């Protein structure tokens, strides 16, 4: 698979995702969320990095709210406005902390939530355009999560990729900067590469 094939795969999968009905997406997001909830690490984690979904991404908002309810430290990435492909990590304590940032993604408001100086998330829940069964990830093409996962903070983090079942494919090309996830939860299965 070449870079061009990766781009074609991104286009095809995003098109498929965009065609989903909202009610189907909600139903399947709930099923995938139940798989996340069945993981031991979900219950033991004190500090979790995850995202607020945009467009047709798997809806993990119920998971985020559950973590807030149990007073877990909720970390979210925030795109750096001045540095393409790079994200800071900030701590959000409630939905009011989130405002639209780059790509209209809701992110922690920089005024209320400064970048955290240090963190060691026990768990990270990671979106993708797709994953393969070795745990490798295809993103939107900016390498954002590749850089994030390469950071020292994430070395011992249990990395859980989430997506719809059709977003899990057999194999992606592996590139030198790729860091695989440890577990993939879809609406149909829990896959351990
Ligand atoms: P995506 O993960 O969003 O699908 P790619 O894996 O194709 O995108 O990466 C996009 C670009 O980001 C590549 O050109 C790659 O060189 C760059 N990149 C990815 N990870 C890193 C990293 N850890 N350090 C520096 N550059 C990186
Ligand atoms: Mg990548």
Residues at CB less than 6 angstroms from ligand 1: 85, 138-143, 146-147, 150, 175, 177
Given the CA of residue 138, which atom of ligand 1 is nearest to it? 4
> What is the pLDDT, as a whole number, of residue 1?
66
pLDDT tens-place string over residues 51-101: 999 988 999 999 999 999 999 999 999 999 999 999 999 999 999 999 999
Q: Which two tokens stand for residue 9?
A: 């795969």
| Residues with C-beta atoms within 5 A of ion ligand 2 | 146
* CB neighbourhood size of 3 (10 A): 10
Average pLDDT, the chain: 95
Q: All domains of the chain, ordered by start, with CATH?
A: 3-70+119-191 (3.40.50.10420)
Mean pLDDT of 31-58: 96
Given the CA of residue 177, which atom of ligand 1 is nearest to it? 20
């Amino acid at each position: 698979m070449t870079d061009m094939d990766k781009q074609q795969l991104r286009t095809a999968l995003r098109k498929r995702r965009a065609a989903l009905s909202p009610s189907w997406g909600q139903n399947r997001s709930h099923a995938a969320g139940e798989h996340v909830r069945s993981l031991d690490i979900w219950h033991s984690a004190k500090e979790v990095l995850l995202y607020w979904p945009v467009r047709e991404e798997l809806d993990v908002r119920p998971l985020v709210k559950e973590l807030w309810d149990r007073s877990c430290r909720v970390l979210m990435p925030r795109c750096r406005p001045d540095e393409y492909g790079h994200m800071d990590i900030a701590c959000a304590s409630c939905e009011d902390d989130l405002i639209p940032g780059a790509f209209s993604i809701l992110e922690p408001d920089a005024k209320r939530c400064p970048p955290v100086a240090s963190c060691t998330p026990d768990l990270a829940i990671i979106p993708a355009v797709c994953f393969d069964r070795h745990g490798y990830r295809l993103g939107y093409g900016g390498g954002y999560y590749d850089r994030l996962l390469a950071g020292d903070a994430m070395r011992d983090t249990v990395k859980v990729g989430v997506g719809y079942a059709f977003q899990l494919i057999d194999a992606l090309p592996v590139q030198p900067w790729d860091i695989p996830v440890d577990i993939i939860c879809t609406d149909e299965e829990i896959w351990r590469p």
